[in-house]
Amino acid sequence: MKEAPTSSSSSSSEEEENENTLSKSENNENDEDDESALLSRGHLFDAFKFTSVSKNPLVKISTRVFEKFLPDLFVKRRRRTKEANAKTNFARKVKQWVSQIESSYQDSIDYHNRAHATDVTQSIGYMLGNGLREELDDVEVFALICTAVAHDCGHPGKSNLFLVETKSEKAKRWNNEAVNENGHVEFAIEAFEKCEVFRNDDDDVRSSNRRSDEKNRSEEMKETVYEILKTAILYTDMNKHETLIEDFREALERNRGKKAIKEWAKKEDVHVALGYVLHCADVLNGCRPWPVAKKWAELITEEFCKQGDVEKSLGFEKLTGAHVDRALRTDITSSRQAIKFAEETVKPLYGLLKEIVPNAVEPLLTQLELNVEKHRALIQESQR
């Protein structure tokens, strides 16, 4: 596990370079150039702009992340060899899988849409590029990126509690437990099977032993990816927040002295770590530049209030929480909620995340604190 740097000069110069890259591209009419500039922003990434210039932003962002961190499996051009064709076919099927996942996100939903999935996927790329890649093996990296892509697929814009209270079919199917998250896992795995991502379809002539070995490796990869999907996505249920922190803390303690997560003795501990990283990525939008973070805060507030509107229309005697009651909403509601979430959820999460990716965490906490102060200023201004 990595040590934090003693100097911030390199990171600050990198941010200056990113700013220059973005400003140079603002008037560029080529979407590819715009996408590249936006991707170079690191933790300052703006998913709203990226979504506006990309026809399929989740496919685009995931392809970039796959190609960057798994170059042996995902490259733009290959020599025409049978081995290369097999890898190209795998990449093609993964892209089909991402496309199916992206189509399940509803743009009519304010927060849990493909812009959010794009933001979380880029967040994973940011962490991989700031120390996490060296901690993981290839299959773990692949699975982690997939969890980001699919972690909210098919989200209905309603909370688990709402689905339980309305006795929805989904709630019945999952026995009222992690209703949304179980649905996300199920959809993701069904899409993997439909796209035959893990089927070995290389048609060259090989010995039966070699074919058997390759089939076994594909099956092992599929089993690992599915296990990580289930563990990580189920941990994104906010009801599992405290449990996840405790599980991750215990995993860290059991593996003190190990150089990297991939060397941890128990695969369950590795999967917990990946779930922890995904959870941190899922709540990273509060660490984006102020205008972006502010917009995310407003969108989640609006999504909550729309749920409350539905609850009132259904005649709920008691709403599922004050946060969904539009009658209680003010101009600073989203700021109050953002501050509470930052202080009680994000900061403690990232405090532990420093144990594995300190280089990634420090800029996030700095930006988060800046945003919290901006929110506080808005509240103070409203009280004058």
Q: What is the pLDDT along the chain (384 residues), one digit of tens a residue?
A: 444 433 333 334 433 433 333 333 333 334 555 666 666 678 999 999 999 999 999 999 999 999 999 998 886 555 555 566 667 899 999 999 999 999 999 999 999 999 999 999 999 999 999 999 999 999 999 999 999 999 999 999 999 999 999 999 999 999 999 999 999 999 999 999 999 999 976 544 454 555 565 667 889 999 999 999 999 999 999 999 999 999 999 999 999 988 899 999 999 999 999 999 999 999 999 999 999 999 999 999 999 999 999 999 999 999 999 999 999 999 999 999 999 999 999 999 999 999 999 999 999 999 999 999 999 999 999 998
| Residue 324 lies inside a defined structural domain of this protein | yes
| Residue 1 lies inside a defined structural domain of this protein | no
Fill in the amino acid letter for 92.
R
Please list, in sequence order, all residues whose beta carbon lies within 8 angstroms of the beta carbon of residue 93, skipping any fewer than 6 positions away. 195, 196, 197
Q: Which residues are annotated as a binding site?
A: 116, 151-152, 282
CA pair distance 268, 255, nearest whole angstrom: 12
Closest by CA position to 355, among listed 278, 235, 279, 251: 251
Question: Residues 340-376, buried b or exposed e (16+ Cβ, 10 A)?
Answer: ebbeebbeebbebbbbbbbbbbbbbbebbeebbebbe
- Count of C-beta atoms within a 10 Å radius of residue 94: 24
CATH number at residue 150: 1.10.1300.10
| Residue 26 lies inside a defined structural domain of this protein | no
| Residue 257 lies inside a defined structural domain of this protein | yes
Range of the structural domain that residue 129 is part of: 31-382
- The verdict on pTM exceeding 0.95 is no
Q: Count of domains in the chain? A: 1
State the pLDDT at residue 40: 62
| Residue 142 lies inside a defined structural domain of this protein | yes
State the pLDDT at residue 87: 74
| Residue 18 lies inside a defined structural domain of this protein | no
| Residue 70 lies inside a defined structural domain of this protein | yes
| Residue 311 lies inside a defined structural domain of this protein | yes
End-to-end CA distance of the chain, in Å? 48
Please list, in sequence order, all residues whose beta carbon lies within 8 angstroms of the beta carbon of residue 332, skipping any fewer than 6 positions away. 378, 379, 382
State the pLDDT at residue 25: 33
253-294 confidence digits (pLDDT tens): 999 988 899 999 999 999 999 999 999 999 999 999 999 999
279 catalytically annotated: no
Q: Which residues are annotated as a binding site for Zn(2+)?
A: 116, 151-152, 282
Q: Record the tokens describing residue 214, joined without a space.
A: 């390759």
Query: Which one is catalytic: 43, 112, 184, 375?
Result: 112
CA pair distance 190, 89, nearest whole angstrom: 19
State the pLDDT at residue 154: 98
233-253 confidence digits (pLDDT tens): 999 999 999 999 999 999 999
